[in-house]
Structure 1
Amino acid sequence: MLDVIQDPAQPLTPSPAPDAPAPQSTAPTAEDSAFSRAADALQRHREPSEVWGDEREAVSLALRWAAAHTTVATDPKTTARSAEELQAEVGATITEDGIGAARAMELFDEVLLPATRSSEDPMNLAYIPAAPTRAAVAFDTVVSAANVFGGIWENGAGAIFAENQVLRWLADLLGWPADAAGVFVSGGTQGNLSALATARDHALRERGRRPGGGWALACASTAHSSVASAARLLDMDVVTVPVDDRGHLTGAALEPLLAEDPRICAVVASGGTTNAGIVDDLASVVEVAHRHGAWVHVDGAYGGAALASPSARERFAGIEQADSFIVDPHKWLFAPYDCCALLYRDARPAAAAHSQHAAYLDSIDRGESNPSDLAAHLTRRTRGLPLWYSLATHGTAAYAAAVDRCLDSARAVAEAIRASEHLELLVEPELSVVVFRRPGWTPAAYRRWSQRLAKDGTMLCVPTAFRGEIALRLAFVNPATDPWAVIAVLEETMREADGS
């Protein structure tokens, strides 16, 4: 057995490894029928549409399914199917006369959804999964039903007000001033793009002209792929900064590059890299970058959630002076897809870069909080509301405890790997990502192991590359994950040297 070395200051209660839960049926029950009758009754004052007819059945079926699915157990099986297979079973659904609500829901429930992967299963530890609270998932249906236009205050004042309370909580975690502001966008890619567009526009306004050779940004090779993507879209070059022996971007490494390259107008630091959970040396990066007049954007899409934990806050020292920041609540703040919080320490450069003006927009009250002014968008869904509802329901203390539980799980599994005779821990976890390898295994052995566990529904863990070699990583963002169940899987399935 793997020996578990437990930190007494971080108590965890061991439990036996559970079998992967079997998918629960969503076939109609007496309770479902009662729900449908209630939904029908609620629609009794809604007259049939002259265009769409009577939609009561379609509405009741969808609401019943959503209510039931919020409580259904999940499993981490890999169940993707080819387009050819799905076409053969589903057939044509977009037809001149329609296929009807019952048939459409039947196909979704029995064929289409089962061909997807569960993101919130406790044994899904691949990539960066998601583990939304049931309260947040349920409220996402409320957001859809309310159908609020969240781009400008005039249309969505109440919803935007609630979103802004969440953004204020995040700004407080960052240690930012009272006039800091932000907006919820679709994901980290959109957040990084909007922040870097602001940085580039701010540099042009400050310097008065575009430098010869164009603009550039600086980041480590460990920066998320969306940073390079944003640079291409913004016509900016990427200057790669070497990291230290522990994988951190530092001010010392950044200094000579900024001194010799005046094109660099922005520096992107990681608040928890996706691959290994490394938090860059933010204090030294911010100090050096600001001394050279460069904007500092912190990509905390995954790791920024750790700011909610007092035990992890020290790792982010210096972030209080950064210029912009993102965190994806759909990663580790227990919100459903899609949701990224983009914040600015000073929102004025963002408004200057992103505000749209047209004859029909000139009457907008610019004195209020208009989310469309702070990112590359105009139309937007009030996607921050599920997080608001969950935070308002459970409280920030519960969120801090949930984040701490994930950190504890990562530490426990890392200690067990370190104590193992046949596994090797490759880096000390700084947040909740554990990177390790099985000495003696070939790349093919890693793939066989990963695919077998995925198909069996045992655990989702995929190979990655770390410091030039193949490795495995476990991302703990679900407080329901039992670390002892993970340890048991590693013990039972990785002892054989050839991985078969």
Structure 2
Amino acid sequence: MVDWDGPLTEAFERATTYLAGLPERRVGPRATAAELQAALGGPLPTGPTDPREVVAQLADGVDDGLLPSGSGRFFGFVFGGATPASLAADWLTTTWDQNAGLYAASPAAAVVEDIAASWLVELFGLPATTSVGFVTGAQMANFTGLAAARHEVLRRAGWDVERDGLIGAPPIRVLAGAERHDTIDRALRFLGLGTSCIESIAVDEQGRMRPDALAEALADGAGGVIVCAQVGNVNTGAFDPIREVCEVAHEHGAWVHVDGAFGLWAAMSDELGTLLDGVELADSWATDAHKWLNVPYDSGLVFCAHPEAHRAAMSIRAAYLIQDEDGERDSLDYNPEFSRRARGIPVYAAIRALGRAGIAEIVDRCHAMANRFADALRDGGADVLNDVILNQVLVRFGDDDALTRQVITTVQNEGTCWMSGTTWQGRAAMRISVTNWTTGPADIDRSAETVLGTLRKVS
């Protein structure tokens, strides 16, 4: 008889101990790569080991190498965390081990995903007929949205890219802000368009695309056009003026894709939703659920206002597959994977547990905490480089690259909080991202005190 209780009990106890300790855990890894190799490595096992012992040894071995990104004092990247409902649902998703590629492979997974998709479309205020794909993250969400864009732009030019490929195809121009996220460039590489098709559009001092520069570029050139807009600059949090971008782009017959990896979640907030004015006018959108919805990794979302283009770019048919012809959801029609885990289940659980009001509270609180952090650092003598309109704070110390980088490294090594460095407009900066659902005033005050204390120490 299989012993499930032993290893699962060990995993449960280790998990709950880890989660209970997060509020006071050192925010940063404590072991070097060599130390982790020594703890986890060794010769290839030649025989079986008790599963509970394997789980215990694994938990012991990795503990000092974990970056506690679920901590309320982790500000290094826009990572979020995991809410209790989404984490529990994710455990069940792994236990059920469903292949969510086809309705026939898991009717339950398909229906849960379909319901979650409809909720998401309503939450973001997108057209009711919008199609939804559950992917790994914003990279593949951008890839999928741009694949649909590639299909439609070439279809309008009389070219079937899925059948005939790109050799000999009409040219495609991609207009994107100079401060776009690198996942746009990478997606275009994956799609065979290459980065040389990108025409960088001038941005303002906060990184927002300038509509006048976009209009000028659209008027100066021929061929099919995809415009890539951004809501939530990865450094400043700034939003492109989406309504103006969509209106000028559509006047020229362009497809508008919106990279909203974290910024799209501002739609949940009554106060911050105005940043997204006109976002429903776009043709495709990308975002992450493992950011502000705070579900476990990995969980990305792609939306398309043209389901036929979405399916044309992604779908596949094979004689051996049992594919639904009665309107039920086959998820492989909407994402680039064939087999995949049922990512929609944790998303469903998170939305069910939080509701619109709960998600809005997380977004609004993180926005308030980002401003609290900025105010504290500014009062302590730091320079805040951006308008804190969402959750991102860019900080510089003494107009000195070396000092700024030294503060960042020292804070990371100290362990009270963890934030990353970046380069903004040619200058080194500390980059603070407030996205975790547990972050509160005490976390901000303690972290700001650590940063300012470090500045005084190293100055």
| Same fold, judged at TM 0.5 (above) | yes
Q: Is contact 1:167–1:341 with CA below 8 Å preserved after alignment?
A: no
Q: Does 1:101 align with 2:59?
A: no
Instruction: Map 1:268-279 to 2 at 5 A.
Output: 268-279=228-239
Instruction: Map 1:355-374 to 2 at 5 A.
Output: 355-361=315-321, 363-365=323-325, 367-374=327-334
- Of the three residues 110, 119, 124, the one matched with 1:160 is 110
Q: CA deviation at 1:56?
A: 4.7
Structure 1 pair 480/61, CA: closer, same or farther in 2 (3 Å)? closer
Paired residue for 1:493? 454
How far apart in 1 are the matches of 2:121 and 2:348?
A: 14
Structure 1 pair 117/264, CA: closer, same or farther in 2 (3 Å)? farther
Paired residue for 2:90? 140
Q: Is contact 2:123–2:356 with CA below 8 Å preserved after alignment?
A: no
How far apart in 1 are the matches of 2:181 and 2:132?
A: 21
Q: Which amino acid aligns with 1:235?
A: G
Q: Deviations over 1:345-380 (max 9, x none)?
A: 221110111110111136432622221101211212
- Higher mean C-alpha displacement, 136-145 vs 392-401: 392-401
Q: Which amino acid aligns with 2:338?
A: L
Q: Does 1:327 align with 2:287?
A: yes
Aligned residues: 445
Q: Is contact 2:154–2:170 with CA below 8 Å preserved after alignment?
A: no
- Of the three residues 258, 265, 284, the one matched with 1:305 is 265
Of structures 1 and 2, the larger Rg is shown by 1
Paired residue for 1:22? none
How far apart in 1 are the matches of 2:304 and 2:374?
A: 35
- Of the three residues 172, 175, 179, the one matched with 1:222 is 179
Instruction: Map 1:146-185 to 2 at 5 A.
Output: 146-185=96-135
- Of the three residues 378, 393, 398, the one matched with 1:434 is 393
CA-based RMSD of the aligned residues comes to: 2.2
- Of the three residues 33, 41, 58, the one matched with 2:7 is 58
- Of the three residues 263, 266, 274, the one matched with 1:314 is 274
How far apart in 2 are the matches of 1:411 and 1:87?
A: 41
Structure 1 pair 261/181, CA: closer, same or farther in 2 (3 Å)? same
Structure 1 pair 450/333, CA: closer, same or farther in 2 (3 Å)? same
- Of the three residues 388, 396, 399, the one matched with 2:348 is 388
Where 1:331 maps in the other structure, the secondary structure is coil
Where 1:246 maps in the other structure, the secondary structure is coil
How far apart in 2 are the matches of 1:307 and 1:76?
A: 33
TM-score by length of 2: 0.90
TM-score by length of 1: 0.83
Structure 1 pair 250/362, CA: closer, same or farther in 2 (3 Å)? farther
Q: Is contact 1:76–1:460 with CA below 8 Å preserved after alignment?
A: no
Q: Is contact 1:435–1:471 with CA below 8 Å preserved after alignment?
A: yes
Structure 1 pair 205/264, CA: closer, same or farther in 2 (3 Å)? closer
Paired residue for 2:254? 294
Q: CA deviation at 1:204?
A: 1.3
How far apart in 2 are the matches of 1:231 and 1:240?
A: 14
Paired residue for 1:265? 225
Where 2:198 maps in the other structure, the secondary structure is strand
Q: CA deviation at 1:189?
A: 0.5
Gaps of 5+ in 2: 160-165
- Of the three residues 344, 363, 372, the one matched with 1:403 is 363
Structure 1 pair 425/63, CA: closer, same or farther in 2 (3 Å)? closer
Q: Deviations over 1:355-414 (max 9, x none)?
A: 101111364326222211012112121112112112212322111111110011112222
How far apart in 2 are the matches of 1:454 and 1:417?
A: 17
